[in-house]
Amino acid sequence: MTILGYVQETGQRFVSLLGRVYNTSVEVSQALTLHHAVRRLLAISPLKCGE
């Protein structure tokens, strides 16, 4: 299992954080839905699924 990052719920928004360790992750985007937050995290990740 590989951790690409995290999605944090912050009230009405979901924040995508890129990085393997939560406290050193970097915010890469904000979205209104969880689905879009995950898609943005996957799109910007330097890792490909399945590696």
The pLDDT of residue 47:
65
pLDDT at position 46 over 90: no
Number of domains composing the chain: 1
Q: Report the number of secondary-structure helices (H) and strands (E) in the chain.
A: 1, 3
Distance of alpha carbon 27 from alpha carbon 44, whole angstroms? 11
Domain hosting 20: range is: 5-44
Q: Which residue has the higher pLDDT, 30 or 3?
A: 30
The pLDDT of residue 51:
47
Distance of alpha carbon 46 from alpha carbon 5, whole angstroms? 11
Report pLDDT digits (tens) over 5-39: 999 999 999 999 999 999 999 999 999 999 999 99
Report pLDDT digits (tens) over 33-44: 999 999 999 998
Distance of alpha carbon 37 from alpha carbon 17, whole angstroms? 9
- Domain membership flag for residue 36: yes
- Domain membership flag for residue 18: yes
- Domain membership flag for residue 34: yes
The pLDDT of residue 24:
95
Work out the angle at residue 43's Cα, subtended by the Cα atoms of residues 38 and 20, and round it to the nearest 5 degrees.
Answer: 70
